[in-house]
């Protein structure tokens, strides 16, 4: 209590990428009263921003202003390793990094440096690179002080009972479609 604990309602949450998952997260955060900002290639219409209680910010401004930065981008040539020393240095001192997207987005050694220095106060990581995680991963070999400020989950942040059943059903429906000579649903080329 002496150092103080930030309440979520007193935080600014910045979303890097603002697709369906980030928007669903924003809807769930809105009742807590936190300020929300987002960055994506194309800003939303003002009415959509108002509905989601989020405002578009330039990436550098979002990083500097956010108490919590949540990653919601796919792995592409532009995003692989984007959370590097420079990205982390632009984050507000004492902020928290959340990655529920893909491990390849984060330069894990850079994150270790930011956590060890205290510039980043904590991290919540649902994914690492590579998966399955290897014992020599730098995030698993930090000092006890830095390790105590990281929460890991085994890339199951989006796995609910309903999602599991829908995914399982889709696998079997796609197998039947292919067996019938039809294209599978959600084919990735």
Active site amino acids:
102, 131, 155
Over the Cα atoms of the chain, what is R_g?
Answer: 18
Asked if 100 and 68 count as a contact pair (C-beta separation under 8 A), the reply is: no
Half-sphere exposure of 163 (CA within 13 A, CB side): 5
b/e burial code for range 102-123 (CB count within 10 A of at least 16 → b):
bbbbbbbebbbbbbeeeebbbb
Q: Is 101 exposed, middle or buried (CB count within 10 Å of its CB: 0-12, 13-18, 19+)?
A: buried
């Amino acid at each position: 209590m002496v150092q103080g604990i930030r309440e979520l309602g007193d935080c600014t949450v910045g979303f890097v990428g603002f697709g369906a998952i980030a928007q669903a997260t924003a809807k769930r955060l809105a009742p807590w009263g936190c300020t929300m900002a987002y960055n994506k290639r194309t800003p939303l219409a003002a009415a959509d921003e108002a509905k989601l209680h989020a405002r578009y910010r330039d990436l550098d401004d979002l990083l500097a202003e956010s108490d919590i930065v949540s990653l919601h981008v796919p792995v592409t040539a532009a995003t692989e390793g984007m959370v590097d020393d420079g990205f982390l240095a632009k984050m507000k001192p004492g902020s928290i990094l959340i990655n529920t997207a893909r491990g390849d987005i984060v330069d894990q050694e850079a994150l270790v440096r930011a956590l060890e220095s205290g510039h980043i106060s904590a991290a919540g990581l649902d994914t690492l690179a590579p998966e399955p995680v290897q014992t020599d991963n730098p995030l698993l070999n930090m000092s006890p002080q830095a390790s105590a400020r990281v929460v890991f989950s085994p890339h199951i942040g989006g796995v609910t009972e309903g999602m599991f059943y829908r995914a399982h059903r889709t696998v079997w429906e796609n197998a039947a479609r292919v067996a019938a000579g039809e294209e599978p649903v959600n084919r990735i080329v």
